[in-house]
């Protein structure tokens, strides 16, 4: 299958190690703005087509974020629970060392964490070989909350645009992992009322609002937000039909679909998860007046954090840059769209930036 178009991909590298039986792939989509940045995932059904799609998404995300990274992605074809995971990661790192970090910079993705990034950096021999490393290696792990903080900032800008005060705004959040917890934290600190949170066990709903610290304690001690004292327990999918000002899908893809889109009552949707609904579903909701902040606008805090780590910045500098860029880019997309189809507007801006960089690179080569 061919993927080529005017943007990329520039490079597809399949790797294999006969000793560990590691097989993997790297897709570098476009490097006009800088080295290709994108995570490594470990899944047993990895395909080049999937990795290319993710690499292209990173091209747009990094361009819109306004950081000097291109788009790339990679993967190892194995179960994330593989007993030989450490050996597979080391083998993968050795096979891609000639690309890193000048052409490709890995980061954590599905079933890959900070220790795996540390292993990649150690094998290749430079801390710049991966982002998302442990703090003691100069890393800025995503556990600091960069993505959730960015989602909060996008939500704040969307509420301002809709002329709705953040104080008292009702919010429903799908997922209470790294992104959902930090989004809830920052929103409640600003006075928003988080009325519902879901995890794999169901949805905790309390019209008067869920206390953040209590939620964290309940999740830690009971293993689920549904144990929140006094909250109604709903099915996880019922969260999407709750009446609220802001809905934040923050876990799985395609959770808003043809079967439940008519039940959505939120006035604003901020996409913390990747592809929580297909573009045609977004379009239908937009026509009904729902303001939707697309995923690669709202959840870019993680890749901005990766850039700050790459240049040796601090945690404080990371949060400052996330605030500056997420706020500015959300406003820019809202202004360009006029409150209409924000995904189209965001893609237009990202594509303009990439094409401009490609033209400048071509002109430099001609001189």
pLDDT tens digits along 152-172:
999 999 999 999 999 999 999
Say how many residues make up the chain. Answer: 367
Residue 218's CATH number: 3.40.50.720
Mean pLDDT over 54-72 rounds to 96
pLDDT value at residue 1: 58
What percentage of residues in the chain have a pLDDT greater than 90? Answer: 92
pLDDT tens, residue by residue, 172-202: 999 999 999 999 999 999 999 999 999 999 9
Higher pLDDT, 253 or 210: 210
Distance CA 355, CA 350 (A): 9
User: Which band of pLDDT confidence, cut at 50, 70 and 90, is reported for residue 298?
Assistant: very high
Mean pLDDT of the chain: 96
Q: What span, in angstroms and rounded, lies between the C-alpha atoms of 69 and 63?
A: 7
- Asked if residue 210 and residue 335 are part of one domain, the reply reads yes
**What would the mean pLDDT of 209-236 be, rounded to a whole number?**
97
Domain boundary among 138, 154, 187: 138
Q: Does 133 map to a domain?
A: yes
How high is the pLDDT of residue 81? 87
- Give the list of residues 6+ apart from residue 186 with CB closer than 8 angstroms, or none: 148, 149, 152
Which residue is catalytic, options 21, 37, 61, 73? 73
Q: Is residue 329 part of a domain?
A: yes
pLDDT attached to residue 234: 98
Nearest CA among 151, 122, 185 for reference residue 297: 151
Q: Which long-range contacts (CB under 8 A, 24 or more apart) does 183-188 make?
A: 183/148, 183/149, 183/151, 183/152, 183/155, 183/248, 183/250, 183/272, 184/148, 184/210, 184/212, 184/215, 185/145, 185/148, 185/212, 186/148, 186/149, 186/152, 187/152, 187/155, 188/212
The model's pLDDT over 232-260, given as tens digits with 9 standing for 90+, comes to 999 999 999 999 999 999 998 899 999 99
Q: Are 276 and 156 within one domain?
A: yes
219 catalytically annotated: no
Could you tell me if 101 and 151 lie in one domain? no
Q: Minimal CA–CA distance to 139: which of 331, 316, 312, 280?
A: 312
- The CATH number given to whatever domain includes residue 97 is 3.40.50.10860
Domain of residue 259, residue span: 146-304+311-350
Q: What is the mean pLDDT of residues 320-324?
A: 98
Please compute the mean of the pLDDT values over residues 108-113 and round it to a whole number: 90
pLDDT of residue 365: 78
pLDDT per position as a tens digit, 71-89 = 999 999 999 888 999 999 9
Residue at 53 is within a domain: yes
Question: What does the pLDDT read at residue 107?
Answer: 95
Asked whether residue 171 falls in the same domain as residue 257, the answer is yes
Per the structure, the count of domains in the chain is 2
- Is the residue at 259 inside a domain? yes
Stretch 223-233: mean pLDDT: 98
327-344 pLDDT tens trace: 999 999 999 998 788 999
For residue 49, pLDDT over 80 is answered with yes
Q: Are 237 and 260 in contact (CB under 8 A)?
A: yes
Among the three residues 104, 138, 172, which one is the final residue of a domain in this structure? 138
């Amino acid at each position: 299958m061919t993927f080529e178009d005017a943007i990329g991909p520039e490079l597809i590298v399949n790797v294999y190690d006969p000793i560990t039986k590691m097989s993997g792939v790297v897709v570098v989509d476009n490097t006009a703005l800088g080295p290709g940045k994108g995570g490594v995932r470990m899944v047993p059904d990895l395909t080049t087509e999937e990795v290319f799609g993710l690499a292209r998404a990173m091209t747009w995300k990094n361009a819109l974020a306004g950081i000097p990274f291109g788009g790339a992605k990679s993967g190892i074809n194995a179960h994330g629970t593989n007993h030989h995971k450490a050996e597979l990661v080391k083998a993968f790192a050795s096979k891609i060392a000639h690309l890193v970090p000048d052409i490709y910079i890995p980061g954590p993705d599905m079933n890959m964490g900070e220790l795996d990034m540390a292993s990649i950096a150690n094998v290749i021999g430079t801390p710049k070989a991966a982002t998302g490393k442990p703090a003691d290696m100069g890393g800025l792990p995503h556990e600091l909350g960069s993505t959730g903080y960015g989602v909060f900032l996008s939500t704040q800008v969307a509420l301002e645009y809709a002329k709705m005060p953040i104080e008292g705004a009702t919010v429903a959040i799908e997922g209470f992992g790294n992104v959902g917890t930090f989004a809830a934290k920052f929103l409640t600190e600003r006075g928003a009322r988080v009325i519902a949170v879901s995890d794999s066990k169901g949805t905790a709903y309390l019209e008067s609002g869920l206390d953040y610290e209590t939620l964290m304690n309940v999740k830690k001690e009971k293993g689920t937000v549904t144990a929140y004292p006094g909250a109604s327990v709903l099915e996880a999918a019922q969260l999407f039909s709750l009446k609220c000002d802001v809905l934040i899908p923050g876990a799985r893809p395609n959770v808003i679909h043809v079967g439940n889109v008519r039940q959505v009552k939120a006035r604003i949707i901020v996409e913390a998860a990747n592809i929580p609904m297909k573009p045609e579903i977004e379009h239908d909701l937009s026509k009904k007046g729902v303001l939707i902040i697309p995923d690669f606008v709202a959840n870019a805090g993680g890749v901005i954090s990766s850039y700050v780590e790459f240049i040796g910045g601090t945690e404080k500098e990371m949060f400052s840059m996330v605030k500056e860029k997420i706020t500015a880019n959300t406003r820019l997309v809202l202004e360009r769209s006029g409150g209409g189809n924000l995904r189209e507007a965001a893609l237009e801006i990202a594509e303009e930036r990439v094409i401009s960089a490609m033209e400048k690179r071509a002109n430099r080569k001609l001189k």
